[in-house]
């Protein structure tokens, strides 16, 4: 099993964290970005290189089956047990155990000592109290106090408590993250188009409980004849050329109303699943949907995580939510690539995009902070939902009016982000990584050195240094290197990466990032650097190198 470059980076970041720190790391990879190959590689290495024992925890049987399949690809000779009541298997005493948390949370002691606990969808670990994950982990620590925990998630935050990583939590730091926008640009995720539904309910009277709209009130608001008929009409209109449409409804009654309206008024079949759908009926519906025999499928609360149907080219949200994580998971069902789709259309009848922002630029409310403004707006002409920075709609060309100013602008909006303004923002750099980067679209093009700047918990920026190019890119690379090192400018990217990874470049203290509306990437335009190290071939440089660089054994156990 060959990892994608960013998956390899994620694995390496986990190992570095486990070697250098004594707490527990978390990896953030978008939905459909491929967390399971990362998990499988860590399991294979832990067992075959370091003689460790691992347990993988997940909450739905689809994720358990995915992990089992990827482990078979990565290490076909690895002894793997599966513990899941839903899959009718209860296997213990294996080097790797893949387990449903509902089935095994009281059985940690039966597993014996394990070295690693890997939690898929790690945002489901309860922030406090007991909970199934916490109970299992606490008992695993009682058996082996040195057990390490690794979390993987696409959404490392909670509505009520913010980040899932903190010194006092089970997971303590994000060791690697990559964003939706970056993977779309690189060709690993499907491009998205968004459009707000014309038919929308008045949600001003909805109440909240535990940070979310009260479910019964939401269903009452969304499940009216006029709204359902109008929404179904729009869905049919916008999906005439689409092949696979997944619909999220606000409740069972609402979902059945949608299914019946599509059948009766538009003559199309729409499947429906909820938490009470019998397993056999559910499996048959999902199989027909995945094979393309069923174009429309509605659901309530069951097809958000672990559901893999790459052909989905339209997601219709007939459910408003205050949870950015749930909103992300709904939209994420359309992220996967498929040869028969060019993009995925997101139809939003619940105001979620305006509420939370574009899915590649989520606005996460910090506990105790005000709502602020979501970084998105709706075009009044074509109803596309776009980033707030656009001065013209990229879909139809409509010119947005300039933003209104008020005395509260500085508190309510992102500083400096106006309709047609280029902005510059300074960020303190907490860590830097260096990788050899090759273009997937042009394998014959010269490689470049990709530099990742970690700026806080979940913000990363990149720049590309082109040592093997000619002309201006090479001259720029030479200037970049001279600012950071007294060593000769490398001739190749691999040489530059080797030197950089040894820590022999001046430390980057902060960067300034330029952002242009509509641009795919933010651009790093300036740096604040620490002092350069002396040359290694001087006495001072040789002594400093010997003091800071010891040989690193490949056999060193990272836990």
Q: How is 53-88 classified by DSSP, letter by letter?
A: -EEEEESSHHHHHHHHHHHHHH-TTS-EEEEETTTT
pLDDT at position 124 is 87
Collect all residues with Cβ–Cβ distance below 8 Å to 81 and sequence separation of at least 6.
Answer: 89, 91, 92, 93, 94, 96, 97, 98
Query: Cα–Cα distance between 96 and 52 in angstroms, integer?
Result: 9
DSSP lists the bridge partners of residue 454 as 431, 460
Q: CA 497, 513, 158 angle in degrees (round to 5)?
A: 95
CA dihedral 165, 18, 46, 434 (to 10 degrees): 100
Q: Which fold has domain 190-356?
A: Rossmann fold (3.40.50)
pLDDT of residue 465: 94
Question: Cα torsion for 28, 30, 33, 35, to the nearest 10°?
Answer: 40
b or e along 83-106 (b: 16 or more beta carbons within 10 Å of the residue's beta carbon)? bbeeeebeeeebbbbbbbbebbbe
Rounded Cα gap, residues 310 and 32, in angstroms: 9
Angle, helices 5-20/35-48, rounded to nearest 10 degrees: 50
- Tokens standing for 399? 């010119």
Q: How many CB atoms lie within 10 A of CB 399?
A: 11
The whole-number pLDDT of residue 489 equals: 93
Token look-up 């078979």 returns 72
- 10 Å CB burial of residue 215 (0-12, 13-18, 19+) is middle
Contacts 24+ apart (CB under 8 A), 184-188: 184/360, 185/520, 185/521, 186/6, 186/440, 187/337, 187/440, 187/441, 188/4, 188/6, 188/33, 188/34, 188/337
Residue in this structure with the two tokens 């001065």, named with its chain if needed:
391
Tell me the pLDDT of the chain (559 aa) as tens digits: 789 999 999 999 999 999 999 999 999 999 899 998 999 999 999 999 999 999 999 888 888 888 888 888 878 888 899 988 878 888 888 999 999 999 999 999 999 999 999 999 898 888 877 789 999 999 999 999 999 999 999 888 876 667 889 999 999 999 999 988 889 889 999 988 887 767 677 788 888 887 789 999 999 999 999 999 999 999 999 999 999 999 999 999 999 999 999 999 999 999 999 989 998 999 999 999 999 999 999 999 888 877 889 999 999 999 999 888 888 889 999 999 999 999 999 999 988 888 887 776 665 554 444 444 455 666 666 666 666 656 666 556 667 676 553 333 222 222 222 234 466 778 888 888 898 988 877 778 899 999 988 876 446 788 999 999 998 889 999 999 999 998 899 999 999 998 888 888 999 999 988 876 656 667 899 999 999 877 655 555 555 555 544 444 445 555 5
Does 5-184 match 190-356 in CATH topology? yes
Q: Tokens standing for 253?
A: 């009654």
For the chain, helix, strand, coil in percent to 5 are: 30, 20, 45
Residue 54 · residue 111 · CB < 8 Å: no
Query: Which tokens hold the place of 97?
Result: 């155990």
Q: Which CATH number is correct for 5-184, 3.40.50.12780, 3.30.1540.10, 3.40.50.360, 3.40.50.300? A: 3.40.50.300
**In this structure, are strands 80-84 and 96-100 parallel, antiparallel, or unpaired?**
parallel
Q: Phi and psi at residue 230, in whole multiples of 5°?
A: -65, -45
Sheet holding 344-348, edge to edge: 192-196, 344-348, 314-317, 245-248, 296-299, 270-273
Cβ-in-10-Å burial (0-12, 13-18, 19+) of 70 comes to: buried
Neighbours of 79 (CB within 10 A): 12
Q: How far apart (Å, rounded) are the C-alpha atoms in residues 125 and 119? A: 9
Q: Characterize the bridge pairing of strands 54-58 and 96-100.
A: parallel
CB-facing half-sphere around the CA of 247: CA atoms within 13 A: 30
Please choose, from the candidates 180, 174, 164, the residue with its C-alpha nearest in 3D space to the C-alpha of residue 123. 164
Where are the chain's structural domains? 5-184, 190-356, 425-548
As a CATH number, domain 425-548 is 2.40.50
CA pair distance 243, 241, nearest whole angstrom: 7
Q: CA torsion angle for 53, 57, 61, 62 (degrees, to 10)?
A: -90
Count other C-beta atoms under 10 Å from residue 123's C-beta: 22
CA dist., res. 274 & res. 255, Å (int): 9
């Amino acid at each position: 099993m060959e990892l994608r470059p960013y998956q390899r980076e994620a694995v390496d970041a986990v190992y570095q964290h486990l070697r250098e720190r004594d707490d527990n790391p978390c990896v953030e990879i978008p939905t459909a970005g491929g967390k399971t190959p990362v998990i499988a590689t860590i399991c294979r290495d832990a067992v075959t290189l370091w003689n460790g024992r691992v347990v993988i925890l997940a909450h739905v049987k689809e994720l358990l089956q995915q992990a089992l399949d990827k482990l078979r690809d990565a290490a076909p000779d690895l002894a793997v047990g599966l513990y899941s009541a839903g899959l009718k298997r209860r296997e213990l005493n294996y080097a790797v155990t893949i387990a449903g948390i509902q089935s095994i949370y009281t059985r940690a002691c039966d597993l014996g000592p394990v070295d690693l606990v890997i939690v898929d969808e790690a945002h489901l670990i309860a922030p406090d109290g007991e909970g199934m994950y916490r109970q299992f982990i606490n008992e695993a620590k009682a058996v082996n106090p040195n057990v390490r925990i690794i979390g993987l998630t696409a959404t490392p935050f909670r509505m009520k408590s913010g980040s899932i990583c903190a010194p006092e939590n089970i997971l303590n730091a994000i060791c690697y993250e990559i964003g939706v926008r970056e993977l779309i640009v690189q060709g690993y995720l499907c491009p998205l188009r968004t459009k707000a539904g014309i038919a929308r309910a008045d949600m001003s009277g909805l109440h909240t409980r535990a940070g979310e709209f009260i479910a019964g009130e939401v269903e009452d608001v969304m499940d009216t004849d006029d709204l359902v008929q109008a929404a179904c009409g729009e869905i049919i209109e916008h999906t005439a050329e689409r092949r696979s449409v997944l619909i999220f409804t606000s409740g069972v009654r609402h979902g059945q109303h949608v299914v019946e309206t599509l059948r009766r008024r538009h003559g199309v079949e729409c499947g429906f699943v909820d938490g009470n759908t019998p397993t056999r009926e559910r499996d048959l519906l999902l199989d027909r949907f995945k094979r393309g025999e069923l174009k429309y499928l509605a659901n309530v609360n069951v097809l958000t995580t672990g559901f893999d149907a790459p052909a989905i080219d339209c997601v219709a949200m007939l459910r408003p939510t205050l949870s950015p994580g749930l909103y992300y998971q709904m939209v994420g069902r359309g992220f996967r690539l498929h040869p028969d789709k060019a993009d995925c259309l997101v139809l939003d009848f619940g105001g979620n995009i305006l509420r939370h922002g574009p899915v590649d630029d989520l606005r996460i409310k910090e506990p105790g902070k005000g709502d602020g403004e979501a970084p998105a707006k709706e075009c009044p002409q074509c109803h596309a939902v776009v980033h707030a920075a656009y001065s013209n709609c990229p879909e139809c060309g409509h010119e947005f009016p300039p933003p209104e100013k008020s005395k509260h602008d500085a508190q309510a909006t992102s500083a400096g982000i106006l309709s047609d303004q280029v902005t510059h923002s300074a960020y303190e750099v907490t860590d830097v990584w260096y990788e050899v980067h090759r273009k997937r679209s042009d394998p014959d093009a010269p490689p470049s050195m990709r530099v990742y700047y970690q700026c806080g918990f979940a913000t990363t920026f990149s720049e590309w240094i082109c040592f093997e190019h000619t002309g201006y890119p090479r001259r720029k690379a030479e200037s970049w290197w001279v600012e950071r090192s007294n060593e000769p400018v490398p001739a190749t990217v691999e040489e530059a990466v080797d030197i950089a990874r040894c820590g022999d470049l001046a430390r980057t203290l902060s960067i300034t990032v330029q952002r242009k509306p509509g641009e795919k990437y933010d651009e790093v335009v300036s740096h604040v650097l620490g002092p350069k190290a002396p040359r290694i071939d001087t006495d001072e440089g040789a002594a400093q190198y010997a003091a800071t660089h010891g040989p690193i054994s490949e056999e060193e156990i990272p836990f």
